[in-house]
Amino acid sequence: MRSEKVRVAFLWHFHQPMYKDFLADEYVMPWVRLHALKDYYDMGAIMASVDGARATFNFVGSLLLQLDDYANGQANDVFLRLTAKPADSLDETERQFLLENFFSVSNKVIAGYPRYSELLTRRNATLRGQRPASSFSKSDFLDLQVLFNLAWSGNTLRRESPVVKALEEKRSGFTEDEKLALLDAQQSFLSRVTSLYRKLASDGAAELSTTPFFHPILPLIANVGNARECMPNVVLPSKWSGSIRDAKRQVHDAAKLFADQFGVPLRGMWPAEGSVSQDTCGIYTKLGIKWIATDEAILSKSLSQGKLQSLERNRAQLYAPHFVKAGGRPLSVFFRDHELSDTIGFVYSSWKADEAVSDFLRKLSGIRDLISGTSGSRFDRTPPIVSVILDGENAWQHYADNGEPFLRELYSRLVRTEWVELVRFGDYVEEFGPGEQLPSLAAGSWIRGDFSIWIGHPEDNQAWDYVAEAREALVKSPPSDANSKQLAWQSLFAAEGSDWNWWFGDDHSCDNILQFDHLFRKHIANVFSLIGREPPFDLSVPIKKSGPMLAVQQPTQFIGPVIDGKDTTYFEWVGAGVFEQQSAGHGAMHQVATIAKKLYFGFDLENLFIRVDFAQDVASILDGRSGHEIAVYVTLPSQRRAKIVAERGDRGGSYSLRMFWQNDGGWKQVEARGSVGVDRVLEMAIPFEALGCAAHDKIMLAVKITRNHRVIESIPEGSLIEVTVPGPEFEQEEWCV
């Protein structure tokens, strides 16, 4: 065995969740475009530059779909729109958005631009209240727009684009024309990503693989009981039991898009998060897929279940090929070396490239020694294979020069090492066969060998139950037109992706966690909207139980406004609570353009008063013909909910209120009490008695604007405002000098 080469197979995983709101036909986060510019193309180009290098690149279906939209100029996100907008036309909300979000890149990258570092220092002082946001000039914002996009330009784009080269040399003081030229150069570059990989695959240098379409945890989609196999005491969702049909669709749709995009045979898949189970293997083999991959923890559990020699006692088994039988066909399973893979992902970024690669080769040599000392003839029949599988996009921002020196050194040294051969998984299976049979494949993922990241926590289970409710509603009442039906199922399948539950629970956190929460609930809400049903009110409330507090000013005194829709006097709403829409949300989900600007809420002892100020003429919104509806939602301590709708007749005339109580998932209309006025603003008076409120009750408020029964804006976005019903002592308690 000592003379046998060690085969090394790299799999670089490219993945982004579904950032597209299918119903609104818009993108709410920019990461597909930005990683395409910085990482996806360069990863293939670096490998192609080293003769003899081989690797597998895994494209998730949802990523391919979005890449295609961007490459064809059919995708636009708020980051892109606000980059293109002239800096002197940015309003206050948009300038604040830039200050909050246009530093979303590694500090190591920012440090390479003195002007960017200066702007970051000033921005941080602004957030600490040490200097006003108004201190940023038009030229500051223009430079920020350009520098953010320059920072996300990859090495190939920097080398090959004269526009990018010139801006890199200029460093600051950019013009609007230069900014637009940069966006044009980036747009042209996006179309090169998938074409590069088609060529690499046809040339035999790269193998391409995919993942179930929206990156779902397939065993939990197929049968939630799979969680119990690896987590016997897990608390399961109350409503989600699984859908083998959905699991099959996720795999089938991914395979179809892969064929459309690349035109080469699909030989293998990396299941999302390496999540596998015996009962899902047949889904792959039925489509002719020859191999999948997961983590060494799954091999350890599979060996234990089969009462075979443990991995702890004979680690060499990790480097032998294995297969399971599914649907009467063999499915090869490769198990990633956890240490080698994670060392690239999390350790080597702080090392010099040559030292990191030398350490990697020392580890490989140790594996070679381990294998050569293994008794028996396992490796006489089939050569050993070391599987190195990891994220191919997020690690490199922590490396010098976006990881290029390390990757070039890695490929070059491995190609020159006589006892190493770089291989592709599919080639290995075709040449050496499927390997040794395992009795069955244990259920689990690459993290801890189980599914605890995605199920069991109350937040995770709540998300699963939302999926169950949406699916049941869609199956029961599918849209009649084909387009709406397709969008509804796409929205549901997007909600089945793993990324949302990655952030729910206590395991992970990030600055954009509430935006992921919001987007998940938006996918679910879209299912209901597309079948002509109002989304359940619970979808207005974040699943994540911790996050930034809403910037809400609570009422300080009783008020008594005239309900006429006019801004009659300054004083009639003094003392009311206030929520400004532009402060509702941070990060990529921040609403840049809104219908409503500000929500006032207040009371006397008998009435709840609501006022909404708009960014456009409210009368044109509520003209009775546009399909718009504005409603106040009130949730009582008992969780009973009321909806109060302001409406105008089809032929114009006066405005009136309609009142509904939530009933068995729908709304039952009751006699309306209160008054409404619409002119420059919308004002309402709603008796507490009609709501069934008592003094000191804590109620939750939200205002929603719908168009043709589809929610287009919420105030606040993705949350609720808590209000305490006053007692007679309220003003005494709030009194101050």
| Closest of 356, 422, 490 to residue 52, by C-alpha | 422
pLDDT for residue 650: 58
* pLDDT tens string 344-360: 999 999 999 999 999 99
Residues 6+ apart with CB under 8 A from 609: 559, 561, 563, 576, 600, 601, 602, 603, 683, 684, 685, 686
Task: For the chain, give the percent of residues with pLDDT over 70.
Answer: 93
Measure CA 169 to chain center.
34
pLDDT for residue 191: 93
pLDDT for residue 615: 79
Q: What is the mean pLDDT of residues 668-672?
A: 91
Gyration radius of the chain over CA positions:
29
Give the pLDDT band of residue 3 (cuts 50, 70, 90). very low
And the tokens for 189? 């570059």
* pLDDT tens string 160-204: 999 999 999 999 999 999 999 999 999 999 999 999 999 999 999
CB 440 within 8 A of CB 325: no
pLDDT for residue 146: 98
C-alpha 19/C-alpha 36 separation (Å) is: 14
Give the pLDDT band of residue 377 (cuts 50, 70, 90). low
Q: Give the pTM.
A: 0.86
Burial of residue 550 (CB within 10 Å: 0-12, 13-18, 19+) is middle
C-alpha 524/C-alpha 74 separation (Å) is: 23
3-class DSSP assignment, residue 655:
strand
| Closest of 73, 65, 75 to residue 29, by C-alpha | 75
Give the pLDDT band of residue 591 (cuts 50, 70, 90). very low
pLDDT for residue 618: 77
Strands (E), 360-477: 385-391, 420-422, 436-437
In this structure, what DSSP letter does residue 584 have? S
Q: What is the mean pLDDT of residues 621-634?
A: 80
CB 442 within 8 A of CB 229: yes
Burial of residue 377 (CB within 10 Å: 0-12, 13-18, 19+) is exposed
Could you report how far apart the first and last alpha carbons of the chain are, in Å? 88
CA angle in degrees (0–180, nearest 5) for 271-501-543:
160
Q: What is the mean pLDDT of the chain?
A: 91
Residues 6+ apart with CB under 8 A from 44: 57, 196, 197, 200, 206
pLDDT for residue 2: 40
Tell me: pLDDT of 547 over 60.
no
* pLDDT tens string 437-477: 999 999 999 999 999 999 999 999 999 999 999 999 999 99
